[in-house]
Amino acid sequence: VITFIAQITARAISASLNFWINYKFVFKSNESKGASAVKYFSTVVIILCLQAVLMYWLDTILGLSVTYTPLLVQTMTFFINYI
């Protein structure tokens, strides 16, 4: 439970900073900050849920090492973010 809370807290801080930087320097849109934020954070929540399911599946169902499972999940979802 503590790991899950830490992961969500880190994700929230990271996503907020990433959104701000991307909105300011990367996004080339005439969309309002609010509309962009809804889309961005929706993606963050979807990826977070996907990571939780993958962690459970790889660790509990397949019995992969708890040491390597987060690395594998992060790598998988890194590439999914660009689809």
Q: What is the pLDDT along the chain (83 residues), one digit of tens a residue?
A: 677 788 788 888 999 999 989 888 887 778 888 888 998 889 888 988 998 899 889 888 888 888 888 889 989 888 887 77
State the Cα–Cα distance between residues 61 and 23, nearest whole angstrom: 39
The two tokens of residue 41 are 């954070």
pTM for the full predicted model: 0.72
CB 54 within 8 A of CB 64: no
State the Cα–Cα distance between residues 39 and 59, nearest whole angstrom: 30
Return the pLDDT at 29.
77
Q: Name the one residue in this structure whose structure tokens are 């503590």.
A: 2
State the Cα–Cα distance between residues 55 and 75, nearest whole angstrom: 12
